[in-house]
Structure 1
Amino acid sequence: MLSLLLLLQSRGRMSARGVADELGVSVRTAYRDLARLQAAGVPVYAEPGRGGGYQLLDGYRTRLTGMSEGEARALFFAGLPGPAADLGLAAEVTAARLKLLAALPTGLREEAARTAAVFHLDAPGWYREPEQTPQLPLFVDAVLTGRAVDVRYRRWRAPQEVNRRLRPYGLVLKSGTWYLVAAATDSRIATYRVTQVLDAVLSDERFDRPQGFDLGAYWTSYLDDFQARRYTGTATIRLSPQGRRRLPDNVPPEVVRAVDSTATAVGDDGWVEAVIPTESTYHACGELLRLGVDVEVVAPAELRQAMVATVGVLARAYGLH
Structure 2
Amino acid sequence: MRASRLVTLLLLLQNRGRMTARQLADELEVSVRTVYRDVDALGAAGIPLYGAAGHAGGYRLVDGYRTRLTGLTADEAQAAFLAALPGTAADLGLGEALAAAQLKLRAALPAELREHAGRIQERFLLDAPGWYGDADRTPHLAAVAAAVWTRRAVVLRYRRWRAPEEIERRVEPYGLVLKAGRWYLVAGGPSGTRTYRVDQILELHSLDENVVTPDGFDLSAHWNSYLADFRARLHTGEALVRLTPEGARRLGLTPAGDGWTETRVPIESIEHAHGEFLRLGTDVEVIAPAELRDRIAETVRTLATRYKG
Partner of 2:58: none
- TM-score scaled to structure 1, two decimals? 0.71
In the TM superposition, what are the counterparts of 1:121-270 in structure 2 within 5 Å?
121-184=126-189, 186=190, 188-247=192-251, 256=252, 259-260=253-254, 265=256, 269-270=258-259
User: Where does structure 2 lack aligned partners over 5 or more consecutive residues?
Assistant: 12-27, 31-41, 47-65, 70-79
User: Where does structure 1 lack aligned partners over 5 or more consecutive residues?
Assistant: 12-21, 25-54, 65-74, 248-255
Q: Deviations over 1:168-225 (max 9, x none)?
A: 10011111111100011x2500001111111111111212111210001101111111
Contact 1:77 1:83 in 2 (8 A): no
Shift in CA distance, 182/77, structure 1 to aligned 2, threshold 3 Å: farther
TM superposition shift of 1:108: 1.5
In the TM superposition, what are the counterparts of 1:70-149 in structure 2 within 5 Å?
79-149=84-154
Partner of 1:287: 276
Q: Which residue identity lines up with residue 98 of structure 2 in the other structure?
A: V
Match of 2:302 among 290, 301, 313: 313
TM superposition shift of 1:78: 5.6
Q: Deviations over 1:120-174 (max 9, x none)?
A: 1111112221111111111111111110111110111101000011101001111
Q: Which residue identity lines up with residue 7 of structure 1 in the other structure?
A: V
2:260 & 2:101 partners in 1: Cα distance? 57
TM superposition shift of 1:92: 0.9
TM superposition shift of 1:6: 7.7
- TM-score scaled to structure 2, two decimals? 0.73
2:117 & 2:101 partners in 1: Cα distance? 14
Contact 1:179 1:194 in 2 (8 A): yes
Partner of 2:22: none
Shift in CA distance, 230/275, structure 1 to aligned 2, threshold 3 Å: same
Number of residue pairs the alignment of both structures matches: 250
Shift in CA distance, 300/170, structure 1 to aligned 2, threshold 3 Å: same
Contact 1:151 1:201 in 2 (8 A): yes
Q: Which segments of structure 1 move beyond 3 Å, counting only runs of 4 or more?
A: 3-6, 8-11, 75-78
1:76 & 1:151 partners in 2: Cα distance? 35
Shift in CA distance, 5/216, structure 1 to aligned 2, threshold 3 Å: closer
Q: Deviations over 1:210-257 (max 9, x none)?
A: 12100011011111111111111100111111222333xxxxxxxx3x
